[in-house]
Structure 1
Amino acid sequence: MLKQHLQFKLSQKLSPQQIQLMKLIQLPTQAFEQRLKQELEENPALEGGKEESDSMDDEFGDTYDNEESDSEIIATDDINIDDYLSDDEIPDYRTKANNYSADDEEKNVPYAAGTSFNQYLLNQLNTVYLNDEEWSIAEFLVGSVDESGYIRRPIADITDDLAFTQNIYTEEKTIEKILKIVQKLDPPGVAARSLEESLIIQLKRKEVTPSVELAITILEKSFEQFTKKHYKKLIQKYNISEEQLRDAISEIEKLNPKPGGSYSGNNRMVEHVVPDFSIRIVDGELELTLNGRNAPELHVSREYNNMLKGYKDAKKKSKSQKDTVLFIKQKLDAAKWFIDAIRQRQQTLFITMNSIMHYQSEYFLTGDERNLRPMILKDIADEIHMDVSTVSRVANSKYVDTPYGTKLIKEFFSESMKNDQGEDVSTKEIKKILETVIGEESKKKPLTDDKLAAILKEKGYPIARRTVAKYREQLDIPVARLRKQI
């Protein structure tokens, strides 16, 4: 039996312009500049920089009805060209807002050219005598060295790859022999297959002393006991004094666990952090500015305006002219949407950061992390009447330049806990105190998580041992046994 019925429901649908705005808000300054450059290249109706003339005759105004552009089929007769050539008002994007730096100086970050890490190793191989097959194997091994300076692949896999990709059929012992040659290259410890092997290689390159010999023996025969800091067992096993063990450990601590990172000419891409905001203290008051690079000057191409004028003045409108004006209208719409999205991006960034700055004003005035108030995304979202997801997009990828250094905005957010007086305090405050307590502990007898929990309770923060363990791990601090020193 067939039935018909009406159903009413409300549904929310994001427009392409809203999606574009959300994506723009999420971008940090450098990525935003790349996106701006891409849009300028793709849309010929959009131009950057200052215009040659101050006349508003060749600007399109904000009087255009956006609802018309939602139609999939556009009739050229319905296009009001005057909407695009209006000189009644100055568009919003042309006005200056006092919320970003007036410094228009373009700052280009230079990138140094140099020799890559792998090429640096290959250049050293040129000084070693090798036949053709040995050279191919050595070159393949160098190509297998990762950024940290390690070869993390089993010799058996390398043997198979040489056969399949280089047509070189050899034995594992031959590769082991060539590997020993590669491991003699600089920096010391390069091309090792494990941390243990890398440290031993570095020690064998040092001047032989009793401490170095003992360090090599410990790494070769008792590496696991050393990493777990079972010092009493090591003293008993090798019949040595505590001072001798301390000297051996001192030699190991001088070594580089990532030999590849020591190569200064490494051409890996370095991420340059460009602050999106700047906070300054002026006469005891906080002053927020938005990076001027987030406020580009955009306008519509003069040529496109002239085309529209020609279409408007033409008495007879040919089909080709109508097709052209349709194309121009699409590009002008896209340009207007993009310019409007940038304006909204500026406003959203500034309003959100301004709210965060005032919420955490005590911290920004003092620089003391213990003054950070508990703050979650919803706190700011409710204050500025925006969605939590919008605040999250601003906080996750943006940096602010403060008198105390450049900070990631999301670091100002934290959960709250109650102290013994029932007051809400930030978990960051507790972590800071925990870090201080651990820093002042006796390294011969490090404090266990139970003892840390007891100390925090005495200071007015009644938290459980498991919570202490969680905060300690978030601070990247090892357990008490691994913090022990002799």
Structure 2
Amino acid sequence: MQKLFVKQSLSQKLSPQQIQFIKLLQIPTAELDSRVEEELESNPALEEGREKEKEKEDDNSDDYDEMDYSETSLESLKDSTTDVNINDYLSQDDVAGYKMQGDGNYQEEDRDMPISSMTSLIDELTRQLGYLRLDERMHTIGMQLIGSVDDDGYIRRDLDAIVNDLAFIQNIQTDKSEIEKLLRRIQQFDPAGIGARDLQECLLIQLKRQEKIKKEDAPLTEENKGEFKILEDAIHIISMCFEEFKKKHFKKIQRKLNLSEDELRAAMGIILKLNPKPGGSGFGMVKVQYIIPDFTIKYNSGDLELSLNSRNAPQLHISRNYTNMLEGYDKSDKKDKKLKQEVSFVKQKLDAAKWFIDAIKQRQHTLLKTMSAIMNYQREFFLEGEDSKLRPMILKDIANEIGMDISTVSRVANSKAVQTDFGVFPLKYFFSESIQTDSGEDVSSKEVKAILKGLIEDESKRKPYSDDKLEKLLRARGYQIARRTVAKYREQLNIPVARLRKEV
């Protein structure tokens, strides 16, 4: 039985101004210019640059008209309470609420700039397909195959699915065997290994091409028989022992193929020079991302100086024309419905412009306040630039220091970078867990990772250290660390397990 009842509850919602600030806070300096341009285009009440001197002299008492936040020191950024009283002009019912651009189903646009263009892989394969002198039908099938090539050079789409695509989209009836026959010809294109359906096929294509070229260049003789034998062994390893090869079970490969250790080492030397991703061989769109530091920390006369990138301080002000329109409305007939609608639009745009300027100012203040706390917390690192000087630091430490929420610190640290005398670092670099030593001292996990990386680099590649062994070595140095933590740090350093680090 359904019943109606009244329930009272408390909930918290972000205001449009808070949403505005949050979205501006999390974007890096490189994207701020674009975001400001978007707001300037959508809001005619917002203008960029300084107002003309004459206009400022006309009304020096109205500090709302001109808001220049070009100063980048922390002391210069103070909370502004300046507001425009336009409630006298309109009732609340007449005012449309400010809707920030991008509210609702908002997604940040991907702006990886700049992008330099090169000959694409598809264009290069299409050019080579023309050399096969195929009829129109087979050329269409070839183009369908080329269109199925991934960015790394593989065709992972099932050939039966390509048969169906040709039937339904191109109205071409074919079968798997015909497509596979053409695929074999495409696999002879450059770069070597293109069009393979898996890694094993990719490596075999490259090895067999080397074998073919070697035979064409010089026939088999007693002098070069050893070179052909090495290449033949490499082909056998990939074709007959691929699972053992992936898992680096070298003893099993030796027993299965009856190879000596020297023969295995020579064959592996050839295999390891092959290209597992032929699609990345200088083709396609190359995205070049430049890191633009949001902060700069310099050592000057025994002290550290923090400054904010000047691009974080755009010069914005409210349009004089729009404020004049409101002043004109005060002297006109307030019962004019059309004029009332116009001023409603003007007020909405003025509110939006003021909130945007305030959000930019608040962004500057929060960035500097957060980075200042990080700089003071990691002062020894910024003075000497050594990882061993990094203190354990989590988001909560900085949040408590500056009196802000952890989520705010996270947004600042997530996509920002700082330029120091020792290089450019992402802010996330300075956050790490703490590990306790035998003496009870807390050290940064980054210090432990650096030592772990050094131990692995110095190990014997024929008998690499297991995680248990690495744990014992770290404990011998005074770091109280569990084996699972060793495994976690090793994975974070993108270092494989001992078995996969083993070499012949």
The TM-score, its normalising length taken from structure 2, stands at 0.83
> Normalising by the residue count of structure 1, what TM-score does the alignment of the two structures yield?
0.86
Of 382-391 and 153-162, the range deviating more from structure 2: 153-162
Tell me whether 1:421 sits opposite 2:439 in the alignment.
yes
SS at match of 2:93: coil
The equivalent residue for 1:30 is 30
User: Which residue of structure 2 aligns with residue 100 of structure 1?
Assistant: none
Offset of residue 314 of structure 1? 4.7
Residue identity in the other structure for 1:467: T
Unpaired runs of 5+ residues, structure 2, are: 65-81, 97-111, 215-226
**By how many angstroms is 1:230 displaced?**
1.4
2:134 counterpart (130, 134, 139) = 130
Contact 1:311–1:317 (CA<8 Å) still a contact in 2?
A: no
Partner Cα separation in structure 1 for residue 409 and residue 54 of structure 2: 37
Deviation, structure 1 residue 54: 5.5
1:204-353 counterparts in 2 under 5 A?
204-206=208-210, 207-208=213-214, 209-210=227-228, 211-263=230-282, 265-312=283-330, 314=332, 318-353=336-371
Q: Any residues of structure 2 matched to 1:61-76 within 5 Å, and which?
A: 61=64, 62-64=82-84, 72-74=92-94
Q: Does the CA-based 8 Å contact 1:60-1:300 persist in structure 2?
A: no
Structure 1 residues 353-381: Cα deviation after superposition (integer angstroms, max 9, x where no partner):
11111111112222222221111111000
**Are the counterparts in 1 of residues 114 and 289 from structure 2 also a CA contact under 8 Å?**
no
Q: Does 1:161 align with 2:165?
A: yes
How far did 1:25 drift? 0.6
CA distance in 1, matches of 2:142, 2:135: 10
Range 316-325 or range 252-261, more displaced: 316-325
Amino acid in structure 2 at the alignment position of 1:222: C
Query: Displacement, 1:349?
Result: 0.8
Is the 1:212–1:251 contact (alpha carbons within 8 Å) kept by the matching residues of 2? Answer: yes
CA distance in 1, matches of 2:261, 2:431: 46
The code of the aligned residue for 2:181 comes to K
Higher relative contact order at CA 8 Å, sep ≥6: structure 1 or structure 2?
A: 2
Aligned to 1:451: 469
Contact 2:231–2:267 (8 Å) recurs in 1: yes
Which residue in 1 is equivalent to 2:493?
475
Q: Which runs of 5+ in 1 are unaligned?
A: 77-107
Q: 1:288 to 1:67 in 2, by over 3 A?
A: farther
Q: Percent identity?
A: 54
160 and 244 in structure 1: CA distance in 2 versus 1, 3 angstrom threshold: same
Given the superposition, is the C-alpha separation of residues 65 and 14 from structure 1 closer, same or farther in structure 2, using an over 3 Å criterion?
A: farther
Q: 1:50 to 1:247 in 2, by over 3 A?
A: farther
The one-letter amino acid of 1:228's match is K
What is the CA–CA distance in structure 1 between the aligned matches of 2:86 and 2:294, rounded to whole Å? 31
Aligned residue for 2:147? 143
Instruction: Give 3-state SS (helix, strand or coil) of 2:116's partner.
Output: coil
- Residue 447 of structure 2 aligns with an amino acid whose one-letter code is E
Q: Give distance in 2, aligned partners of 1:364 and 1:358.
A: 9
- Cα distance between partner residues in 1 of 2:423 and 2:34: 25
- Alpha-carbon distance between aligned partners in 1 of 2:86 and 2:468, rounded to the nearest angstrom: 64
| SS of 1:443 mapped into structure 2 | coil
Contact 1:370–1:429 under 8 Å retained in 2: yes
* 3-state SS, counterpart of residue 73 of structure 1: helix
**1:117·1:267 contact (CA, 8 Å) conserved in 2?**
no
Do the aligned partners of 2:114 and 2:288 also contact (CA within 8 Å) in 1?
Answer: no
Instruction: Pick closer, same or farther for the CA change 1:109–1:238 going to 2, 3 Å.
Output: closer
Please say if residues 435 and 480 of structure 2, whose CA atoms lie closer than 8 Å, have aligned partners that are also in contact: no
Tell me the distance in 2 between the aligned counterparts of 1:401 and 1:66: 44
